[in-house]
Amino acid sequence: MWSKNNIERFAFILAPFLLILSFYYSFISFFAFVPLLISLNSQKSAKVFLDVFLIISISFLPFFLFLYIGLLKGIYVYNHVPFFLAFSMYFGVCIYQLAYTIVPFYLIKKFNISFLLLPVFYIAFEYLRSIVLYGDPIGNVSMFVYNMPFFIKDATWFGSYFVGLKLLFVNVAIYYLYKNKIKHALIILGVIACLFFVVNLPAKNGSMKKSIALIQGNISQSQKWDNAMLINNLNVYVNATKKTNADLVVWPESAYPFLFKPQDFDNLLGYYKTPIIFGAQTQRGSNYYNSAVFFNNRKYDYYDKHELVPFAEFIPLRKYLSFIPTVTKFGSFTHGKRFTLFDVDGLKTAAIICYEEDFENIARTFKTLGARLLVVITNDAWFGNTPTFHLFYRDDFYRAVENNIYVARCANTGFSMIVSPQGKMITNLKPYTFGILKADIVFDDKKITIFDKFGHFFGLFDLIFTGILLSIAIIKKKKAA
């Protein structure tokens, strides 16, 4: 029979199952990290890096492989990249995230830093991952509790990273309960409980009312770019729009399947009076863009996607990778430069495209420019019915709360929804179905949140604070030696 000591050493084996379950059942995330802390605390060998590497790899790598399996499907099945290369890219993403996960645990263990500071270190490396290279803000721990408005409402202060910090502190508190450190646990839980009462509530509804219609075409990725199906795919949206009466109609990303030309669109819907936002590929000069096009009474404006997906929408270090045949055949989009607001009869509306919904700075910039509605257009059909399909939209709940703004997400196959400034889903369409989601919204009076002014600096502050704590720990260890 195993002793308590041995059970604690191998408690981390539970972690991948708890993390995967947390993805579907948010409440499990409040204790999903506890087995890791128990195991790390029980490791007493001098091989700190090896212990941490094995524990965190066995805990998190299966979870990351689960979380990003949709990338493999998109790259291999729909982009027709050879399987070995597609798997290498998919596995590389998982290893990249794993590296940023291992380091905070290693530093805590290596320099004998209290587990009380683990959340600070962990979130610092999440933020670092979001700004290094081309940025990777996907898969942060805050994704587990996106559907808990009562817990995420203080994102209006310091954003999603602060919510992730709270979640990890709850795990630390439960770990302290397990270790019978009741006082430590009660102090942590007490501070978190106080936050529920001090967060400012959003502004009351204003007087501007608009009806919004989101069209979910439900066109499978295997048919979306089939030359024989392009006209039929476009007609799905055109015919649905003709039947829709709203103040704003929204189509998903790349819903217009041809290189966009205004005269061609005029022939389809030039007489239509309702403003439309839709995704299309556009060309200006020799550059091609993944764009959100705004049509209003035969006038057009454009927002070009800023944050392009590496190796999907552009090839980093392209000239150095030209020896790969797939790279030479791939055409890259150009990064957008302008933040364009669309005027929907007095309602300033911002459109962001796909991957950009996970970048807090994109939504915040639009809010500070005066946006009162944030429209997300995307095509998640790339991921099929995989966990990855259910990952990206979770950050839209944070964008709504952070900026005190309504978010309307229109996706090709789902998940199409409207989220209130309080982080509550008002209405949605069932994924993998065709539908028109229509809602009448009374828009909140414009209100600048703490996050708009200062909260977006929280991740940077946490990173600097972590650097200071680490420096102190290193100096102490050297003196002790």
Report the alpha-carbon distance of residue 380 to residue 197 in Å, rounded. Answer: 37
Q: Give me the pLDDT at residue 134, please.
A: 84
As a whole number, the mean pLDDT across the chain is 90
Does 28 have pLDDT greater than 60?
yes
- From CA 325, how far away is CA 333, in angstroms rounded? 18
pLDDT at 319 over 60: no
Give me the pLDDT at residue 331, please.
Answer: 53
Secondary structure letter of residue 322 according to DSSP: T
Residue 222 is predicted with a pLDDT of 86
Structure tokens at 111: 């320099």
* In the predicted structure, residue 359 carries a pLDDT above the cut 90: yes
Residue 29 has pLDDT above 80, yes or no: yes
**Structure tokens, 383:** 């991921």
More confident residue, 200 or 261: 261
pLDDT value of residue 202: 56
Distances in Å between the alpha carbon of 220 and those of 15, 132, 337, 352?
Answer: 35, 34, 31, 22
pLDDT of residue 88: 93
Of 316, 319, 6, 256, the C-alpha closest to 134 is 316
Binned at pLDDT 50, 70 and 90, residue 318 comes out as low
When mean pLDDT is compared across 57-61, 75-79, 117-121, 470-474, the lowest value belongs to: 75-79
Q: What's the confidence (pLDDT) of residue 328?
A: 43
Per-residue pLDDT of 115-144, as tens digits, reads: 999 999 999 999 999 999 888 899 999 999
Q: What is the pLDDT of residue 329?
A: 47
Looking at residue 201, its pLDDT comes to: 55
CA 139 to chain centre: 7
Q: What percent of the chain has pLDDT above 70?
A: 94
Lowest mean pLDDT of 86-100, 214-228, 389-403, name the range: 214-228
CB neighbourhood size of 424 (10 A): 13
The b-or-e profile of 216-231 (16+ CB within 10 A means b, else e) is bbbbebeebeeeebee
Q: What is residue 421's predicted lDDT score, i.e. its pLDDT? A: 93
Structure tokens given for 96: 């990249």
Please give the full DSSP string across 440-468, using - where no structure is assigned.
Answer: EEEEEPP---HHHHTGGGHHHHHHHHHHH
Residue 387: what pLDDT?
Answer: 96
Rounded Cα–Cα distance for residues 58 and 38 (Å): 15
Residue 196 has pLDDT above 70, yes or no: yes
Q: What CA–CA distance (Å, rounded) separates 111 from 338?
A: 45
Q: What is the pTM of this model?
A: 0.93
Residues of the chain with pLDDT > 90, as a percent, come to 72
Q: Which residues contact 336 (CB under 8 A, 6 or more apart)?
A: 289, 291, 303, 304, 305, 306
* 3-state secondary structure (DSSP) of residue 148: coil
Answer for the pair 279, 293: CB distance below 8 angstroms, yes or no.
yes
Provide the phi-psi class of 85: left if phi over 0, else alpha when psi is between -120 and 50, else beta.
Answer: alpha
Mean of pLDDT values over 69-89:
89
Taking residues 16-44, report their average pLDDT: 95
Q: Which domains does the chain possess? A: 4-201+457-480 (no CATH), 205-446 (3.60.110.10)
The distance in angstroms from the start CA to the end CA of the chain is 39
414 versus 185: the higher-pLDDT residue is 185
Average pLDDT, stretch 286-300? 92
Of residues 101 and 2, the one with the higher pLDDT is 101
Give me the count of residues in the chain: 481
| Confidence at residue 9, expressed as pLDDT on a 0 to 100 scale | 82
Average pLDDT over residues 395-424: 95
249 bridge partner residues = 213, 276
User: Of 283, 337, 348, whose CA–CA distance to 307 is shortest?
Assistant: 337
Beta strands in 369-475 (DSSP E): 373-378, 406-411, 417-419, 425-428, 435-444
Residue 409 has a pLDDT of 97
Tokens for 185, please give them. 């646990």
Tens of pLDDT, residues 447-476: 788 898 888 899 999 999 999 999 999 998
pLDDT for res 281: 94
Show the DSSP H helices in 137-257 as ranges: 149-152, 155-158, 160-178, 182-198, 221-224, 230-242
